[in-house]
Amino acid sequence: MIAVAWFILMVSMVAVLHCYVLYPLWWRCMGARRPLLRVPPMQKDEELPMISVIVVGYNEAACIVRRIVNLQQCDYPAERLEIIIASDGSDDGSDRLAAEVAEGDARVQVRHFAERRGKVRVLNDVCPQARGSILVLSDANVDFAPDALRCLVARFQDAKVACVCGKLCFRTREGEAHTQSEGIYWKLETWLKLHEGGRGVLLGANGANYALRRDLWTGCPPEIVVEDLFVPLQLLLQGWAVVFEPSALAYEDLPPALADEFGRRARIGAGDYQILARCLPLLNPARGLAAWVFFSHKVLRWVAPFFMVSGVLAVLALLALGAPGAPLVGAAGLCVVLLTAAGFSSIRLPGALGRLAAVSAYFVTMNAALLLGCLRWLRGGQRTTWNRTRRA
């Protein structure tokens, strides 16, 4: 029994360490040896394709005017730009506000769907009717840099590229510990996107800022929750390249508190497990780098909460069995628990210790949200509709 407990503990620790530490280190060691896809030069106005920017929103009165103005001010030829604002059953006046700011601008269409059905169903209706050869999908609560559309579109000069993900930058608030933790996490994610996308095996986009060829949009199953993960994975399964373009910038505010982010993470977690069940063929070793990246970056991370639980149970079993070395492992585990508790409390520890406590609390919270998402997926309780995350 002691040997089994030690084995479970070691496997659990290695699995969690691999997806968060060892896998990034692997890219650090091996990434420079793998050639990057060539980045095409920026195109002249007359060479740019027709594009359709599609924003699906629900009750976005607080930000929809700013979003439309931001898109109108993007540096892209007016005659080659279509902006579609699709309202998923909004009842807060955002449709009226959108129509007012779009009045007189032939580029902008405001489409209202009376019944609230969820983002995927709206996209399935809107995307086939878009006029652009490139679809740019975005959210209502972000702002594009002036050249973001040009930067996204430039990558489609490579005929192998099916989907391009831009870089999402979070606007943080000083003094809020969770914003520092999210910043650390997002920097790691962006760094991994840079390496994965540079080899055409980017696993997922972000809903704020990504583009794909319209003729490759075949629709999403209506029950899909996280379309910005499902679409790139399906394209990878079909043999296309999915890339990252770090110069295509979008900006978004972080929620003011970690609790505001928890519900969104749980919803995404349910969608992640839903997609895992559909994309298992991507784990086939014959798919090479894509299979390794999918296993290391996504699959292990999605099952990390279960390894964490099994690791805790293994430590308790070792202590109960009186295993040699168990008190030392237990003491180390207790230190982690106390540090995490400090991260959740209103008492701020000084310096690096305080930052470490905040990161530990953030890590536990996000994995708890992922575990909750798994439970929702198992019982089929995750809706495809969503509520706006509080941003101020």
**pLDDT digits 0-9 by tens, 101-134:** 999 999 999 999 988 988 999 999 999 999 999 9
Q: Give the closest residue to 299 by CA, choosing from 207, 193, 203, 222.
A: 203
Q: Give 382's pLDDT tier (boundaries 50, 70, 90).
A: low
Point out the least confidently predicted range of 8-17, 33-42, 193-202, 322-331: 33-42
- Dig out the tokens for 259 from the structure: 């609790």
Structurally, how many domains does the chain consist of? 1
- Type of residue at 24: P
Closest residue by Cα to residue 305 from 362, 368, 365, 357: 368
Q: What percent of the chain has pLDDT over 70?
A: 90
Instruction: Tell me how crowded residue 74 is: count the other CB atoms within 10 A of its CB.
Output: 17
**What's the average model confidence in pLDDT over 252-266?**
71
In a domain, 89, yes or no: no
β-bridge partners, 55: 85, 138
The answer to the question of residue 152 being in a domain is yes
The SS3 assignment for 321 reads helix
Per-residue pLDDT, 346: 66
At 284-333, the pLDDT tens digits run: 999 999 999 999 999 999 999 999 999 999 999 999 998 898 899 999 98
Residue 57 lies in a domain: no
The average pLDDT across 240-255 equals 90
Structure tokens at 205: 């986009």
Residue 391 has pLDDT above 60, yes or no: no
Kindly state whether residue 176 falls inside one of the protein's structural domains: yes
Domain membership of residue 302 (yes or no) is yes
Is 38 part of any domain? no
The two beta strands, 161-171 and 142-144, are unpaired
Percentages of the chain per state (helix, strand, coil), in multiples of 5 = 55, 15, 30
The reported pTM is 0.87
Q: Which residue range(s) make up the domain with 170?
A: 141-392
User: What average pLDDT does the chain have?
Assistant: 88
Which tokens in the block code for residue 29?
Answer: 């060691």
> Which has the closest alpha carbon to 250: 151, 317, 325?
151
Ranking 181-190, 351-360, 366-375, 379-388 by mean pLDDT, the lowest is: 379-388
Q: CB-side exposure of 296: number of CA atoms within 13 Å?
A: 22
Q: Are 358 and 346 in contact (CB under 8 A)?
A: no
Q: Are 373 and 276 in contact (CB under 8 A)?
A: no
Q: Regarding beta strands 241-253 and 142-144, do their DSSP bridges make them parallel or antiparallel, or are they unpaired?
A: antiparallel
Give the per-residue pLDDT at 380.
75
Tokens representing residue 230 in the block: 């499902």
The pLDDT of residue 178:
47
CA proximity to 53, closest of 24, 76, 28: 76
259 within domain boundaries: yes
Asked if the structure places residue 122 within a domain, the reply is no
**Confidence band, pLDDT 50/70/90 cuts, at residue 257:** low
Which residues, including other chains, have CB under 8 Å from residue 198's CB and lie 6 or more apart? 31, 36, 37, 243, 244
Which uninterrupted H or E stretch holds 168? strand 161-171
Return the ∠ at Cα 235 (arms to 135 and 307), rounded to 5°.
120
Q: What is the pLDDT of residue 343?
A: 79
pLDDT at 223: 86
